[in-house]
Amino acid sequence: MKTIVVSNRKGGSAKTTTAVNLACELAKRGSVLLIDLDTQAHASMGVGCMGSLDNGVHSIFFGKTLSETFVPTVFEQLTLSPATEFFDVYENGDLRGVLRSRFFNEMIHEFFDYVVIDTPPTFDSLLKNALEVADAVVIPFVPHHLGVVAVGQMVRAIYQNASYNGQRTPNVGILPVMVNTHIPEHRDAIAKVKIQFGEEKFFSPIGIDVKLSNQFEGGNPIIDHPERSRGIKDYHRFVEELLNRI
Ligand SMILES: Nc1ncnc2c1ncn2[C@@H]1O[C@H](COP(=O)(O)OP(=O)(O)O)[C@@H](O)[C@H]1O
Ligand SMILES: [Mg+2]
């Protein structure tokens, strides 16, 4: 089993879009668990479900098992652990290690080939729980100045967290999103991040495609119709590249 965390503390950087398309694409190849750690529940909606009021993934912090939170999705091989809307991480103290212990105790690796985790745009216990189980972290970023800064902050957070826990650093990959290569600022921002972190960490970019936004409206991922969407083709290529690295 490989666990892939999609993360960036910057909001609006296509974390959820990436997590949903990655999970759907992987579900063609094996059994997948999508965990929606962002209480906004957008990833849950992206696969045709709703956030839960009291039985989502965040209920593991109140003693539930992870398996109790599972719900089926529109895809046979894709199981969702939805977000618990209104869960307040700040009211619940330090929650580190809980997801990792659930993975271990419930032998999650026996049931899934891949786990994909969508994360909130904060560096809090939820993100730390995700990083603690990560084999790989994908950082999607929009190529502009603050996007470049955010990648640096996120990479530091990943390394800090691994060293705090005495863990192996996960495989870090950087995914430029909403890219228009005709825009010089986009090309410059990508070049800057490549110089900082190395070309080998990069995935081929995801272009701008409004269909990627529309798929959330109907809760109906369009992964089965790549011919209809450039964005889906880009995500398909990204998943191939990712699988070659993990
Ligand atoms: N490649 C893309 N082309 C066009 N719009 C996109 C693309 N990727 C994401 N979006 C849109 O950008 C917004 C932010 O994406 P989202 O995945 O919700 O980011 P995050 O989870 O990081 O906040 C959403 O409205 C989404 O539909
Ligand atoms: Mg999101």
Ligand 1: atom nearest CA of 213 is: 27
State the average pLDDT over residues 152-157: 96
Inform me whether the pLDDT recorded for 190 exceeds 90.
yes
Looking at residue 117, what is its pLDDT? 98
Looking at residue 226, what is its pLDDT? 61
* Nearest CA residue ID for atom 24, ligand 1: 213
Asked if 230 and 207 count as a contact pair (C-beta separation under 8 A), the reply is yes
Q: Distance, CA 46 to ligand 1 centroid (Å)?
A: 11
Instruction: Provide the token pair at 167.
Output: 């863990």
Looking at residue 189, what is its pLDDT? 95
Higher pLDDT, 210 or 109: 109
Q: What ranges do the domains of the chain cover?
A: 2-243
Options 3.30.70.360, 3.60.110.10, 1.20.20.10, 3.40.50.300; CATH for 2-243 is 3.40.50.300
| Mutate-to-test residue for ligand 1 from 17, 139, 233, highest number of ligand atoms within 8 A of CB | 17
Backbone dihedral region of 48: left (phi > 0), alpha (psi from -120 to 50 degrees) or beta?
left
Inform me whether the pLDDT recorded for 91 exceeds 80.
yes
In the predicted model, what is the mean pLDDT of the chain? 93
Ion ligand 2 neighbours, Cβ < 5 Å: 15-16, 42
% of the chain with per-residue pLDDT over 70: 96
Q: pLDDT-based confidence at 241, cuts 50/70/90?
A: very high
Instruction: Provide the token pair at 151.
Output: 């990648």
Q: Give the lowest-confidence range in 27-36, 53-62, 213-222.
A: 213-222
Ligand 1: atom nearest CA of 206 is: 1
State the average pLDDT over residues 132-146: 96
Looking at residue 224, what is its pLDDT? 58
Instruction: Give the separation between CA 81 and CA 188, rounded to whole angstroms.
Output: 38
Instruction: Give the separation between CA 14 and CA 18, rounded to whole angstroms.
Output: 6
Q: Distance, CA 34 to ligand 2 centroid (Å)?
A: 13
Radius of gyration of the chain (CA): 17
Q: pLDDT-based confidence at 34, cuts 50/70/90?
A: very high
Inform me whether the pLDDT recorded for 174 exceeds 90.
yes
Q: Kindly tell me the sign of the dihedral angle through the C-alpha atoms of 213, 215, 221, 222.
A: negative
Residue among 202, 139, 66, 32 at smallest CA distance from 131? 139
Backbone dihedral region of 65: left (phi > 0), alpha (psi from -120 to 50 degrees) or beta?
beta
User: pTM of this prediction?
Assistant: 0.96
Q: What residue type is 218 in one-letter code? A: G
Instruction: Give the separation between CA 103 and CA 81, rounded to whole angstroms.
Output: 13
| Mutate-to-test residue for ligand 1 from 213, 232, 235, 236, highest number of ligand atoms within 8 A of CB | 213
| Pocket, ligand 1, Cβ cutoff 6 A | 11-17, 42, 177-178, 206, 208-210, 212-213, 231
State the average pLDDT over residues 170-177: 97
Q: Distance, CA 101 to ligand 2 centroid (Å)?
A: 25
Ligand 1: atom nearest CA of 18 is: 17
* 200, 202, 222 from 245: Cα distances, Å: 10, 11, 25
Inform me whether the pLDDT recorded for 223 exceeds 70.
no
Higher pLDDT, 110 or 95: 110
Looking at residue 109, what is its pLDDT? 97
* Nearest CA residue ID for atom 14, ligand 1: 12
* 21, 192, 239, 242 from 158: Cα distances, Å: 23, 20, 21, 18
Inform me whether the pLDDT recorded for 211 exceeds 90.
no
Ligand 1: atom nearest CA of 140 is: 22
